[in-house]
Structure 1
Amino acid sequence: MEIANIGPAGLRERILRSFRPAPVSSPLLTDPADDAAVLEPGEGRQMISASAMMLEGVHFDLVYFPLRYLGFKAVTKGVSRIVAMGGRAEGVEVSVGLSARFQVEDVEALMSGIREACETYGCGLMGCHFTSSRTGLMLSTHVVGSVEHGRYLRSDTAQANDLICVTGDLGAAFLGLTMLEREKQVFDRMGQEDYAPDFGGGAYFLSRQMRPVARHDLSPSPIGTEIRPSAMTEVTEGLAGDLLRLCDLSSVGCRIYEERLPILAETRQQAETLGLDPTAIACNGGEDYELLFTLPLTDKELIEGLEGVTMIGFVTDASMGCRLVSSGGSETPLRSQSTTTTEEP
Structure 2
Amino acid sequence: MGNLFRKSSSENRIFRDESALLPDYLPEELPGREREVRELVYCLSPAAENRQPEHALLVGPPGTGKTSASRFVLKQLTEYSQRPLTIYVNCWETPSRFAILSFLVAALGEVMPRRGVASDELFSRFVEIAKKDGKTPIVVLDEVDRLEAHEDGVQILYDLCRAGEMHSLKAGVIAITNDEEFHIRLDSRVRSSFVQHTLLFAPYSVPQLKEILSRRAAVGFMPGSLDPDVIPLCAAIAHKQGGDARVALQLLLSAGKAAERENAEKVLPQHVRKTEEQALGMAAVKAERKLPDLDELDQRIVEMVKKSGTGGIESGKLYDALAKFSRERAIRGRIDRLVQSGILSTASARLGQGRTRTIRIK
TM over 0.5: no
Bigger Rg, structure 1 or 2? 2
TM-score bracket for the superposition, by shorter chain length: under 0.3
User: What TM-score, normalized by structure 1, do the two folds share?
Assistant: 0.22
